Amino acid sequence: MSAATPARSRAPRLAVRIGAGFVGLATATGSITACAPSGSDGDGDGSGVTINVLAEDISYTDNWKELLPDFEEQTGIKVNIETVPYSDQAAKILLNFSQKSSDYDVVFTDNTYGTGYFESGYIDDLSEYESDFVALDDFYQPYLAPMQKDDATFGLPVYGESTWLMYRTDLFEEYGIDGPPTTMDDLEAAAKTISEGSGGEVAGITLRGAPGIQSVYPWAGFLRAFGGDFYDGDTLAVDSPEAVEATQFWADLLKEYGPSGVGNFDWEQNRIAFTQGTAAMTIDATANGPFNEDTEASVIAGKVGYAPIPYAISDPPTSGNTDNSLNVHALYLSSFSQKKDAAYQFMTWATSEEVQNNAVETTEAVGVTLDSVLESPAYDEKYGPFKDALLGQLATGNVDYLPAGTDANAIITEVGQALSRTLAGEADAKDALTAAQKALETQLG
């Protein structure tokens, strides 16, 4: 997963099931306005139309399923939602699109892939469709931006995130560290102080080390912290001096001060290592915030500080090539769908205020995407401890943080393998990234 797909920890999972009772509440407190499909999908009211949705298997999808009977009753549109893990999505969606199949009317994945789908003509520009459920102007602009290109809007954001530094305020105080690190040297020094001061009982820092998108997603922040990018202009440059320096620093940091087995850590394992108190710092998705503060599952609730990712360069950017991500998971309308108007009605309902408010109230939904929901009292009450830090990261998030488009998967795969080789000590960063660069030049021409 490119970002931290909201996991189903015990508390959120129970909440979403108990939340079935909120179906009536949602319609009683704020009725959802049905809008008949404008095209020729059915009898004008949606009756007899069935659409198929391929979605991530996460809490947001659970929320749709709980509320879906209300949508189907109002519109007459039947919706089949097939859920798969994020790691299985890319291949399945690409196979469907490459065959020009109408099997799926809507797909739900992140903007890293969505941009490529739009460039390939696999998904539609949504500006020609109409719905009374939600308007494009209702979305928080940083979340909508990754789905906009050349005056087109090709996705509706369901949830999004940035990345940040999370650190143990109690340990920083115990070891005399004055506030969060503001440079990469400070980060390394803090990791060293706590790791050595605790006799190795607490790792100085934990990060994702598993191959592919798992390690590449947070590592891309290190790349940019050292002034690097995946490209030099239009030329691929994963073996640039900045990339080499960032990778060697990343690997040495984990080898010296990371937890045992960190080379296999995915998002969930990394999150657990931090929330169970075995590491003093981590850099990962803003979606981790609710898990840190979950008093039933986290031993560090109330003891976590949230800060921007530090830089190694002396003149860090305030916009553009920043070292924090802006990753958004959205609904996309297949160009090959034969039921586009009905599909768009579902997309706008699934991202509507009523549906997003219900997600906030019943499950983990820190990444909701409407201005009105982000500003609601319920959101403030639930996510207040880190809301300001979250919005600050989103406002400066780098929309080009990961490579996007048709080459994205190959680049992420090769760079991920180079990171694994460096962390395992099979090669130094320069040799590993040079091999990745050559492999990609061969694959991509």
Contact call for residues 244 and 415 (beta carbons, < 8 A): no
pLDDT tens digits along 137-147: 999 999 999 89
Burial of 175 per CB tally in 10 Å (0-12, 13-18, 19+): middle
Q: How confident is the model at residue 30 (pLDDT cuts 50, 70, 90)?
A: very low
In 3D space, the residue among 334, 339, 333, 352 whose CA is nearest the CA of residue 51 turns out to be 339
Class (C level, CATH) for 163-322+407-444: alpha beta
Q: Which amino acid is at 195?
A: S
pLDDT tens digits along 288-329: 999 999 999 999 999 999 999 999 999 999 999 999 999 999
pLDDT tens digits along 251-287: 999 999 999 999 999 999 999 999 999 999 999 999 9
What is the pLDDT, as a whole number, of residue 46? 60
In 3D space, the residue among 244, 246, 240 whose CA is nearest the CA of residue 221 turns out to be 246
Is the pLDDT score of 369 beyond 80? yes
Same fold, 10-161+327-395 and 163-322+407-444: yes
Task: Name the residue ranges covered by the structural domains of the chain.
Answer: 10-161+327-395, 163-322+407-444
- What's the whole-model pTM score? 0.81
Is the pLDDT score of 40 beyond 90? no
Backbone angles phi, psi at 77, to 5 degrees: -90, 130
Alpha-carbon distance 221 to 394, whole Å? 14
Helix ranges restricted to H, 99-140 = 111-119
The helix/strand/coil state of 137 is helix
For the chain, what is the mean pLDDT?
89
% pLDDT > 90, the chain: 80
Task: Select the CATH number that applies to the domain covering 10-161+327-395 from these four: 3.50.50.60, 3.30.360.10, 3.40.190.10, 3.30.930.10.
Answer: 3.40.190.10
User: E strands within 68-136?
Assistant: 77-84, 106-110
Alpha-carbon distance 301 to 296, whole Å? 9
Alpha-carbon distance 277 to 388, whole Å? 24
Is the pLDDT score of 216 beyond 80? yes
What is the pLDDT, as a whole number, of residue 373? 97
